[in-house]
Amino acid sequence: MRGVFQKMPLYWGLAILLFLLLFPFVNDSRSTLILLAQIFIFAIFAMSFDILLGYTGIVSFGHCMFFGIGAYSTALIFNKLDATLPNFLIGLVIGILLSALVSYIIGLLSLRLKSHFYAMLTLAVSQLFLVLAEKWRGLTQGGDGFTFSVPDVFKDRTSFYYITLFSVAAVFILLKLFTESSTGKVLKAISQNEYRAEALGYKTLHYKLIASVTAGVAASFSGALYAVSLRFINTNVFSIEVTLDALLMTMIGGLGTLAGAIAGAGIIEFLRHYLSELAMTYPIFERWTIILGFLYIVVLLGFPSGLAGVMKKFTLKKGRKEKKKREMERAA
Amino acid sequence: MEVFINLLVNGVSTGLLIFLLAAGLTLIFGLMSVLNFAHGGLFVWGAFSGAWIFKETNSFLLAIVGAVAVGMVLGWVLERFLIRPVYGNHVRQLLITLGGMLVLSESIKIFWGPNPIRVNLPAWLEGSYQFDGIIIIKYRVFVIVVGLLLYLALWLLLSRTQIGLMIRAGVLDKEMVQALGINVKGLFTFVFLLGAGLAALGGALLAPYSGVVFAEMGMQYAILAFIVVIIGGMGSLQGSALASLIVGVAGAFMAYYMPDLSLALNMLLLAIVLLVKPTGLLGEKGSAV
């Protein structure tokens, strides 16, 4: 536990958590709470992607499939059965088991491939899921999608806000523990130099599989929350844009730092919210995806370590300056 | 028999269109180990600009030339500003070319709106040939002829010219070619522009073929091209040609007999090839594993 909560970030984290806990008492505007819940859901999704890309160095372009599997499992359960909490848990567990199974099989078959082949293969498989969801109309009603009712606890915006807030906190702590565990250390080693990790005697495929299944399960969870928040689902959850969202959020926030993924989710969702509001007055902003695309490219080229990297550099510089100042004082 | 020949013609013509996309991908990968996820973006730009020029000028030839020019300009921008800064870093290459793909296909919607656009056939390619009750659509024959000519031209370029020799040598051993004093980066730019032009040409030829163009088309065909490139073997032009024909023909037959399973079939082909022969059918360079 000691490694998880180094002092400074702990205080910051607790302060932010406290602020978010009290937030609904200060401002209970519906749209703000909905936006924040959306941010929390995507923060979970972005963190799951960070486990793959940031901690293990696996480039997956098909992460939307786990999001979609989780979303569809929950949505279909609520569509077929009553809207009760136990049914939600059943849907959640089904989604998680399915995601674990799919990520295990795909990983087993393809994680031994080189990075570009893996990226390509995951992209193709996720498109296969999209086609499946579109063609299996009897179950999914294709691109039209369907609505469903959810338990009251999810309908109330304030309680849903707290559910998503606790979920994001819980997932953050669990994933942080995971990355600080000995397995997490091996993953970090793989991301830095896979051959060397293998030469040290670690079965890298085995560890990459663990990372892939963990990420799949977390993504499935966020997908289930997403479906519940909309009370509607269509094949968009399997679209490449969902994967791009995860990429954007983790890249902008900073790779390999779970907190960065949360910050990235916040930035992207806020931007999207305000840009789509701007679009009502200035039609040019209707195509805000392209703005996000340019932002993504600029971040990749200019700030490859994202917001977290920029902040780290800043604090390092400050620390160095202070040290210098102290030395000067001592000399004087 | 009729159905068989029709499906064969369809399959071969689709296969050759995919080949135009795959040829650039495989050469770019072979030479610089860059997997260009933005390739589908060039394809869809070719399709839209070709369709637009054709509508404005009513000249199909001009449309094709214009589409290729647009593809090459975009390819140059892509190579110069996105790919060159991240040479040698595979992860960042993958990430940035996917970003390029996003921007390319979104900007389509800025220029032409989010809705699909209808494209007509040029008058001199409308209609069909008829032999004993077997009807063959003219435009498909045209696509097959153009595709085969381009394959021949590419093959001649690679096997008979100085620059082709350099490209082949670069695919085999880039460092050695560089050590011999050949500008591999310049060579790569050339190959990239060639690939971009071919992709745009493929898009421009596809537009009247499918009758309708839409922005998401780029990703769909790019995935097909990726599958083809892996099945054929990374860096091998012949392999890509062979795999394109297999995927095209198999796709046409599946689309007729079991329409829902046509994409699944490609994935199955891909899985078999990766498990049995990870270098691809005619792979010359490196294995997928």
Residue A294, min C-alpha distance to chain B (Å): 7
**A98 domain residue, yes or no:** yes
- Chain A residue with CA closest to B263: the answer is A128
Angle at B92 between CA B87 and CA B97, to 5 degrees: 90
Specify the 3-state DSSP secondary structure of B284. coil
Q: What is the pLDDT of residues B89-133, one digit of tens each?
A: 888 888 899 889 989 988 998 888 888 888 888 888 888 888 777
Query: What is the overall mean pLDDT for chain B?
Result: 87
Cα B222 vs. chain centroid, distance in angstroms?
Answer: 7
**Domain around B126:** 2-276
Whole-number pLDDT of residue A7: 52
Total of domains in chain A: 1
Angle at B272 between CA B267 and CA B276, to 5 degrees: 150
**B283 domain residue, yes or no:** no
Of B36, B188, B29, B6, nearest to B99 (Cα)?
A: B36
Question: Mind listing the pLDDT tens digit of every residue in chain A (332 residues)?
Answer: 444 445 556 777 788 888 888 888 877 788 888 899 999 999 999 999 999 998 998 889 999 999 999 999 999 999 888 888 888 999 999 999 999 999 999 898 888 777 778 888 888 888 888 888 888 888 888 778 888 888 888 888 888 999 999 999 999 999 999 999 999 999 989 988 888 988 998 988 999 999 999 999 999 999 999 999 999 998 889 988 889 889 889 988 888 888 889 999 999 898 888 888 887 777 767 777 788 888 888 888 888 777 777 777 777 766 677 777 777 777 76
Whole-number pLDDT of residue A44: 95
Considering only CB atoms, which chain A residues are within 8 Å of B33?
116
**A44 domain residue, yes or no:** yes
Total of domains in chain B: 1
Out of A113, A294, A297, whose CB is closest to B289? A113
* Residues near B93 by beta carbon (within 8 Å), at least 6 away in sequence: A116, B34, B35, B83, B86, B87
Is residue A30 classed exposed, middle or buried when 0-12, 13-18 and 19+ CB atoms within 10 A define those classes?
A: exposed
**A325 domain residue, yes or no:** no
**A311 domain residue, yes or no:** no
- Chain B residue with CA closest to A135: the answer is B260
**B42 domain residue, yes or no:** yes
Is the pTM higher than 0.90?
no
Of B220, B212, B266, nearest to B43 (Cα)?
A: B220
Contact status, residue B111 vs residue B124, Cβ threshold 8 Å: no
User: Domain with A177 in it: what CATH number?
Assistant: 1.10.3470
Out of B91, B98, B263, whose CB is closest to A57? B91
**B181 domain residue, yes or no:** yes
Output the six-digit token pair for A151.
């338990």
Check if A131 contacts B (Cβ < 8 Å): yes
Average the pLDDT over B31-35 and give the result.
81
ipTM score of complex: 0.81
Output the six-digit token pair for A199.
């030469």
Residue A117, min C-alpha distance to chain B (Å): 7
**A317 domain residue, yes or no:** no
Cα–Cα distance list, A92 to A222, A225, A243, B175, B269 (Å):
10, 9, 21, 52, 33
DSSP-derived secondary structure for B151-204: HHHHHHHHHHSHHHHHHHHHHH-HHHHHHTT--HHHHHHHHHHHHHHHHHHHHH
Check if B96 contacts A (Cβ < 8 Å): yes
pLDDT band at B284 (very low <50, low <70, confident <90, very high): low
**A149 domain residue, yes or no:** yes
Alpha carbons A75 and A94: distance in angstroms, whole number = 11
Higher pLDDT, B102 or B172: B102
**Domain around A251:** 7-288
* Bridge partners, B117 (sequence order): B213
Out of A61, A115, A304, whose CB is closest to B98? A61
**B289 domain residue, yes or no:** no
Whole-number pLDDT of residue A5: 45
Mutate to test the interface with A, among B28, B82, B87, B91 (most CBs of A within 10 A): B91
Q: For residue B168, which phi and psi values (nearest 5 degrees)?
A: -60, -40
Whole-number pLDDT of residue A318: 67
- In this complex, do A112 and B289 lie within 8 Å of one another by their Cβ atoms? yes
- Chain A residue with CA closest to B230: the answer is A117
Work out the angle between the directed axes of helices A157-180 and A30-50 (0-180°, nearest 10). 20
